[in-house]
Structure 1
Amino acid sequence: MILDRFRIDGQVAVVTGAGRGLGAAIAVAFAEAGADVVIAARTESQLDEVAERVAAAGKRAHTVAADLSDPDATAALAATAVDQFGRLDIVVNNVGGAMPCPLLDTTPDALVQAFNFNVTNAHALIRAAVPRIIDTAGGGSIVNITSTMGRLPGRAFAAYGTAKAALAHYTRLAALDLNPRIRVNAIAPGSILTSALEIVASNDAMRTELEAKTPLHTLGDPEDIAAAALYLVSPAGRYVTGKVLEPDGGLIAPNLDLPIPDL
């Protein structure tokens, strides 16, 4: 059965930024497909809600409330997975982000912070996870969450877009280094209905613009990204590595112009 290739029974995954949005949807999807999960985010109450959804799917969740802007805290999740569940097979680097800011208002420190939050943290966890994946599972899969703004030019996204573009290419480089035992891929979502889009989605005019400028004329759902992640980490994606999957509704240009004037 082809659907059996999407099962990850008996595997253990670490998902960062899993208190809500994409991370929560990915963690629950993995549980529904048979995996136990270590879920990490800043807010414990949100993690507890996700853990309840994992338990409802018949699997176990271990929650870690931590400041994941700290690479050491992020890297520690690999050891936590092995301590709690005895193995580690899958890592999803979902935590990240940076606020939009006009180019000339973006300080060098802001650029460094965006790089560290989106790329350095992912590298710290991967570096800690790889030996444990090899030792406990023999091989596995890593997924990095980038963004459509890592490939499309948009005003006010110098820090965020640059960091996400770096993470996309880091994915290709890491895949080459970790072949053939660990596959490394990325997902570059478009406009997904998470808390990050709440303000936009609640404004009828802005939502209409977003949808009109998206070739599929609709916004994405967190489960769209969760399905992509499950494909990449499961046996269904066994022949895919070093790639960036783009579930973005077909975007070839940004679908919302921020009101940044010409220079």
Structure 2
Amino acid sequence: MILDRFRVDGKVAVVTGSGRGIGAAAAVALAEAGADVVLSSRTEEDLAKVAARIAETGRRAHVVPADLSDAAAVAALATAAVDTFGRLDIVVNNVGGTLPRPLLESTPEFLEEAFRFNVSSAHALTTAAAPAMLESGSGAVVNISSNMGRIAGRGFAAYGTAKAALAHYTRLAAVDLAPKIRVNAIAVGSVATSALDIVVANPEIKAKMEAATPLHRIGEPEDIAATVVFLASSAGAYFTGKVLEADGGLQIPNLELGLPDL
């Protein structure tokens, strides 16, 4: 059965930023597909709720509250997976994000912080996980990038640059880790997570965003979670070094910040 290729039975996954939003949805989806999952974000209460949802699927969750802006804390998740479940097969580098800021107010330090949080964190976990994956004979890494890494909008210089770097890091890491470990990414569009709460709570702004999106809707975390399962499972076995655009068809930004000309 072709649907069997979407199963990850007996696999172990680490999902960063998994307390809510895309990370939580991805973690639950992987559990529904058969994986045990290491969950990590700052807030233990959020993680406990996701762990309870995973328990309902019949799979196991291990909760690791951590500051994932710390590369050492991120890398330690690989050890936590092996110590708890005996192996590591799937990494979802979901933690990241940077608030928009006008270009001339974006200091070099702000840009470097965006790079560390969105790229260095992914590198830290990927390199820490690789030995365990190689020992198992295979592995899959899924990086959560953004459509702002390929299209241009005012105020997103730091965030967009970091996500573009993560996309190309995906291509480079895929070559270095082939053939046993596959590395892919998802360029995510506007998704209804807490980061967009203020926006989607405004009916006028939400309607404008939907009208500017070819599929005429804001994405749901499950849209991205389904893509994660595809890339992490044998259904995506012939994909590596690719960036899948799960963004409703966007070619230009669907939200303008209203920053004026200088």
| TM-score computed with the length of structure 2 as normaliser | 0.99
1:114 is the counterpart of 2:104: no
Residue of structure 1 in register with 2:167 after alignment: 168
CA distance in 1, matches of 2:72, 2:181: 22
Name the amino acid aligned to 2:17: G
CA distance in 2, matches of 1:48, 1:145: 22
**Cα shift at 1:132:** 1.1
- Superposed, 1:135-154 pairs within 5 Å as 135=135, 137-154=136-153
Residue of structure 1 in register with 2:189 after alignment: 190
**Cα shift at 1:230:** 0.3
CA distance in 1, matches of 2:128, 2:188: 26
CA RMSD of aligned residues (A): 0.4
Name the amino acid aligned to 1:122: A
1:215 is the counterpart of 2:214: yes
Residue of structure 1 in register with 2:43 after alignment: 43
**Cα shift at 1:88:** 0.3
Identity level (%): 66
| Deviation by residue 1:16-69 (Cα, 9 ceiling, x = unmatched) | 000000000000000000000001000000000000000001100000000000
Structure 1, unmatched stretches of 5+, are none
CA distance in 2, matches of 1:233, 1:68: 22
**Cα shift at 1:259:** 1.2
| Deviation by residue 1:196-233 (Cα, 9 ceiling, x = unmatched) | 11000000110001000000101100000000000001
CA distance in 1, matches of 2:218, 2:113: 29
CA distance in 1, matches of 2:257, 2:81: 41
| Deviation by residue 1:126-155 (Cα, 9 ceiling, x = unmatched) | 1110001112x2111000000010001000
**SS of the residue aligned with 1:188?**
strand
CA distance in 2, matches of 1:102, 1:25: 31
Name the amino acid aligned to 1:15: V
| Deviation by residue 1:144-188 (Cα, 9 ceiling, x = unmatched) | 000010001000000000000000000000000001000000001
| TM-score computed with the length of structure 1 as normaliser | 0.99
**Cα shift at 1:93:** 0.3
CA distance in 2, matches of 1:191, 1:109: 26
- Superposed, 1:13-52 pairs within 5 Å as 13-52=13-52
Residue of structure 2 in register with 1:259 after alignment: 258
CA distance in 2, matches of 1:257, 1:156: 9
CA distance in 2, matches of 1:148, 1:103: 19
Name the amino acid aligned to 2:160: G
**SS of the residue aligned with 1:250?**
coil
Name the amino acid aligned to 1:31: A
Name the amino acid aligned to 1:77: L
* Stretches (4+) displaced over 2 A: none
Structure 2, unmatched stretches of 5+, are none
**SS of the residue aligned with 2:246?**
coil
CA distance in 2, matches of 1:19, 1:186: 20
| Deviation by residue 1:94-113 (Cα, 9 ceiling, x = unmatched) | 00010000000000000000
**SS of the residue aligned with 1:92?**
strand
**SS of the residue aligned with 1:54?**
helix
